[in-house]
Amino acid sequence: MAISLNESETGDKGEVFRDVHFPDPAHLFVTPDHYVFRMLHSQGISLESLGVPRVDGGDVETDARAIWRRFAENYHLLRGTPSRIWLDHSFETVFGWSSVLSADTADDAYDHISGCLLQDDYRPRALFERFNIELLSTTESPLDDLRWHKEIRQSGWNGRVVTAYRPDPVVDPEYEGFTENVGRFGELTGEDTTTWQGYLAAHRLRRRYFMEFGATSTDHGYPTARTESFPQAEASALFDKALAGRCTADEADAFRGQMLTEMARMSQDDGLVMQIHPGSVRNHSADVYARFGRDKGFDIPRRTDFVQALTPLLNAVGNDPNLTIILYAG
């Protein structure tokens, strides 16, 4: 089995990579799982009461047992969802607890699972082996120092964990802190990222660095499948505008589209498989975004045009039989 982990779908990667014990049932199953807490939120249960951290550091529930009880009392709301099937399966096959979770059984489940988590058999690497995981792939930003990947290498453990290159913070002019991010990108790579050529060179270097930590792919998720293939002078001018924070929404979209084509060109050279999953409108609730930050389950698929949106990229690189692009539709 090979598993791909999205940053937004995991809790603290450090826990997993340093092989520390998972803290408690609530912080394993509830607080980090945006499928679970977003469903509960839709029924009027506040994210604060489920322990989801606020952007402003404001008070949220910290008592793990209280979070777990709230979760258990409302567990019936998850009936018929993939999350419920997965949770029931995990409780039974991973932890050997096979009652139905409810207000009545909340404490029994909590105590049982907590007891397991204290055992070494339930530490991340033991589970990795028990699950017979061949490969686990994470995604990281180009600004990530990949220290967990380094630590795993240095630890002598032979589980195969690789990274993937997910460049959103430095290719999306609408990402928080884009200009600062590109500056830091320059420092990390030693390239002059204030120029278009230097910026592209930084990507090429950083992709190679990621490949040293097992990366075989890049990963790109945007609201649309738009690609562009501007002449380099135009692309360079657009980059300057993005860096100066003067892009319109349409120009920001165009720049993301240009970068998809640039990433495809780099894949022609370094062989990384390109994964594109367009069509998700992220952070749909302005209120939740303001209070809890991005990727809190408020993603909604929207209809996406592929036929015309992909034309520039396909005309630029589509004839190369050695380039692999995986397109997630829907």
Angle between helices 34-42 and 82-89 (to 10 degrees): 130
The counts of H helices and E strands in the chain are: 15, 8
d(C-alpha 268, C-alpha 207), whole Å: 12
To a copy of itself, the closest distance from the beta carbon of 285 in angstroms equals: 7
- Burial class of residue 306 in the structure, from the number of CB atoms within 10 Å of its CB (0-12 exposed, 13-18 middle, 19+ buried): middle
Contact in structure between 171 and 198 (CB atoms under 8 Å): no
Closer residue to a copy of itself, CB minimum distance, 147 or 302: 302
Q: Which residue has the tokens 């050695």?
A: 322
Q: Does 3 bind a copy of itself (CB under 8 A)?
A: no
Q: Taking CB under 8 A as the criterion, which residues in 256-285 touch a copy of itself?
A: 281, 284-285
Q: Does 115 bind a copy of itself (CB under 8 A)?
A: no
Q: Does 300 bind a copy of itself (CB under 8 A)?
A: yes
Helices (H), 147-216: 147-155, 168-171, 178-189, 196-212
For 273-320, the DSSP string reads EEEE---EE----HHHHHHH-S-SS--EE-----TTTTHHHHHHHTT-
Q: Does 94 bind a copy of itself (CB under 8 A)?
A: no
Selected from 282, 311, 323, 324, the binder of a copy of itself by CB under 8 A is 311
Among the candidate windows 9-17, 61-69, 169-177, 311-319, which touches a copy of itself by CB under 8 A? 311-319
Closer residue to a copy of itself, CB minimum distance, 20 or 326: 326
Selected from 102, 150, 318, 326, the binder of a copy of itself by CB under 8 A is 318
CA angle 138, 178, 9 (to 5 degrees): 25
Q: Does 286 bind a copy of itself (CB under 8 A)?
A: yes
**Per this entry, what is the length of the chain?**
330
Closer residue to a copy of itself, CB minimum distance, 60 or 94: 60
Q: Taking CB under 8 A as the criterion, which residues in 38-57 touch a copy of itself?
A: 44
Binding mask 4-43 for a copy of itself (x = CB under 8 A): ----------------------------------------
Say how many residues touch a copy of itself, by CB under 8 A: 19
Selected from 66, 116, 201, 314, the binder of a copy of itself by CB under 8 A is 314
- Residue numbers of the site for a copy of itself (CB under 8 A)? 44, 281, 284-287, 300-303, 305, 307-308, 311, 314-315, 318-319, 321
